[in-house]
Chains A and B, each alone.
Chain A
Amino acid sequence: MSPTTVVVTGLGTTSPLGGDVDSTWEGMLAGRSGANRLEHDWAEQLPVRIAAEVAVEPAEVLDRVKARRMDRSAQFAVVAAQEAWTDAGLPGTELDPERLGVVIASGIGGVTTLLSNYDALLAKGPRRVSPLAVPMLMPNSPAANIGLLYGAQAGVHTPVSACASGNEAISLGIDMIRLGRADIVIVGGTEAAIHPLPMAAFANMMALSKRDDDPALVSRPWDLARDGFLLGEGAGVLVIESAEHASSRGARVYACVAGAGITADSHDIAQPDPAGRGGTRAIARALYDSKLAAGDIKHINAHATSTPQGDIAEGLMIHATLGDAADDVVVTSTKSMTGHLLGAAGALESIATIKALHHRQVPPTINLDDLDPAVELDIATSVRELPDGDIAALNNSFGFGGHNVAIAFTTV
């Protein structure tokens, strides 16, 4: 029996480029950077004072009382889910709640809630720790809030695999539909970690760029002057459903989410395997799972975070899996504009990949002034057109802990 076809019917985001998909996509096509200098007092002492904060504060769009009961990461997720739900044409649709699932990932969870309550504990004592702290800080809180919002009863899950979390959520959502556990799954990732502690921690492990000049120049995947990633925040949410269910309700379909590959490096807790073997296996498994040939892939939204090692390793993975067909693939890293959204990265970049297939336009990688000679990829430095006909694209995500997830999408 062939596996159930899974399609994408709704998209939503709040990102450093905009408060919704349209503004984010427009920003990507324009090659606009979402980076900004941090104006908070706490940023003064940090070794890194540039990040990519969301363009629209969630407090501007959410009900105040509901928002104060959610961590910032859950606020982002709910904003993105509301857009995706509406975009999928689901408001007012009668659904079986037992056939509706949620898989929303986070890399770090409610870290700002945890830390602000610790501040309150130290300053004013245990009585001042919020009774809402636990339901706010738990990493599954964004998923649970979305589940409550739409009455999802088929299962509400939160994979945690660092920067691969968002893609892992999409992969698990595909599984839920293929295994017959749900007809519709709200999938994606969220992250809100622009706070002095995680920033100091990432900076001290030499992961963040230390550039302190023009914020727009910080994230520069594959460029010789790259020196680490730009921390971003936000959420990406997709509504995926069985093709049969989407068809029965006459839903607009953006793309098929054709398959996924998940592997683990088993190499090091923080360093990627320099040969990229785990990532190579993830891409190969995504192709196998999707029944796609290397030549079907015409676009890759790369993980490429702007770190010296990782960007090179990903090039090796692409060549190892696609062979000569790699020459016909237009590669981009939208992280050059959004920064690295950690547990939301895979979700936001899957949205970018789907939009690229849907509009047959690949957004550019900005700041690629001097291509690292160790990288042999056709990287878009301006908007590039994709060919007509049935084509496929990949979105790669890799995370600390050695997690690798590649997702394959196809045009419809």
Chain B
Amino acid sequence: MATTEDIRSTLAEIVNDVAGIPAEDVQLDKSFTDDLDVDSLSMVEVVVEAEEKFDVKIPDDEVKNLKTVGDAVAFIERAQA
């Protein structure tokens, strides 16, 4: 079972790959749009990459609720449980 930190660091690698944000900046309290400058199209890319990496489904309706990295990590933890 992946730990919260495992999920965060994998997500950080995805955000780095897609949007060029340094992985160490991708912390649980950061907002994707306000702090990390991830635009809506990049967010879709992050979500699709995350679905594949973590073998979960993140419905489009859910994406708008994933405001912070912590929201996304929590969603993935619940989906994997």
CB contacts (< 8 Å) of B41 on chain A: these are 131-132, 135
Give the Cβ gap from A117 to chain B, nearest Cβ, in Å.
12
What number of residue pairs across chains A and B have CB atoms under 8 A from each other? 16
Give chain B nearest CB distance to A149 CB in angstroms. Answer: 17
Query: A128 near B48 (CB under 8 angstroms)?
Result: yes
Smallest Cβ distance from B40 to chain A, in angstroms? 8
Q: Measured between alpha carbons, how far is A63 from B41 in the docked complex, in Å?
A: 18
Chain A residue numbers with a CB within 8 Å of B36 are none
Residues from chain B with Cβ under 8 Å of A128 in the complex: 48
A392 to chain B, nearest CB (A): 47
- Which residues of B, 1-56, contact A by the 8 Å Cβ criterion? 18-20, 41, 44-45, 48, 51
Interchain CB contact under 8 A, B48 and A127 = yes
Cβ of A130 < 8 Å from any Cβ of B? Answer: yes
Bound CA span A63–B19, Å: 11
Q: Is A40's CB within 8 Å of the partner chain B?
A: no
Smallest CB separation, A96 vs chain B (Å): 28
Assess whether A65 is interfacial by the CB under 8 Å rule: yes
Interface residues of B toward A: which range? Answer: under 10
**B48 near A63: Cβ-Cβ < 8 Å:** no
Report chain B residues within 8 Å CB of A63: 20
Tell me the nearest residue of chain B to A129, going by C-beta: B48
Q: Are A65 and B19 in contact (CB under 8 A)?
A: yes
Q: Give the size range of A's interface with the partner.
A: 10 to 19
A132 and B20 alpha carbons, distance in the complex (Å)? 16
Nearest CB of B to A123, in Å: 12
The reply on A64 being an interface residue by CB < 8 A is yes
Contacting residues, chain B, for A127 (C-beta < 8 A) = 48, 51
Provide the A107-149 mask, 1 if CB < 8 A to any CB of B, else 0: 0000000000000000000011011100100000000000000
Assembly CA distance A132 to B45 (angstroms)? 8
CA distance in complex: A68, B20 (Å): 10
Closest to A124 in B: B52
Q: Are A131 and B44 neighbours in the complex by a CB distance under 8 Å?
A: yes
Which residue from chain A places its CB closest to the CB of B49 in the assembled complex? A128
Contact with B along A48-73 (1 / 0, CB 8 A): 00000000000000011100100000
Measured in the bound complex, the distance between the Cα atoms of B45 and A131 in whole Å is 7
Residues of B within 8 A of A65 (CB): 18-20
Q: Which residues in A have their C-beta under 8 angstroms from that of B48?
A: 127-128
Quote the shortest CB–CB distance from B19 to chain A (angstroms): 6
Most buried by A among B19, B41, B44: B41
| A130→B41 CA distance, assembly (Å) | 9
With a cutoff of 8 Å between Cβ atoms, the chain A residues found around residue B51 in the complex are 127
* Distance of A63 Cα from B45 Cα, bound (Å): 18
Taken together as a complex, chains A and B put the C-alpha atoms of A132 and B19 apart, in Å, by: 12
Q: Which of chain B's residues 43-71 have a Cβ closer than 8 Å to chain A?
A: 44-45, 48, 51
How many angstroms between the C-alpha atoms of A305 and B44 in the bound complex? 43
Q: How far is the CB of A110 from chain B (nearest CB, A)?
A: 15
Do B20 and A130 touch across chains, with their CB atoms under 8 A apart? no
Q: CA–CA, A127 to B63, complex, Å?
A: 14
The minimal Cβ–Cβ distance linking A59 to chain B, given in whole angstroms, is 14
B3: min CB distance to chain A, Å: 27
Q: Which residues of B contact A64 (CB under 8 A)?
A: 20
Which residues from chain B sit less than 8 Å from chain A, CB to CB?
18-20, 41, 44-45, 48, 51
Q: List 8 A-B contacts (CB under 8 A).
A: A64-B20, A65-B18, A65-B19, A128-B48, A130-B45, A131-B44, A131-B45, A132-B45
Q: Across chains A and B, which 8 residue pairs bring their CB atoms closest together, nearest first? A: A65-B20, A131-B44, A131-B41, A132-B41, A127-B48, A131-B45, A65-B19, A128-B48
9 more contacts with CB within 8 A, not counting A64-B20, A65-B19, A131-B45, are A65-B20, A68-B18, A127-B48, A127-B51, A130-B45, A131-B44, A132-B41, A132-B45, A135-B41
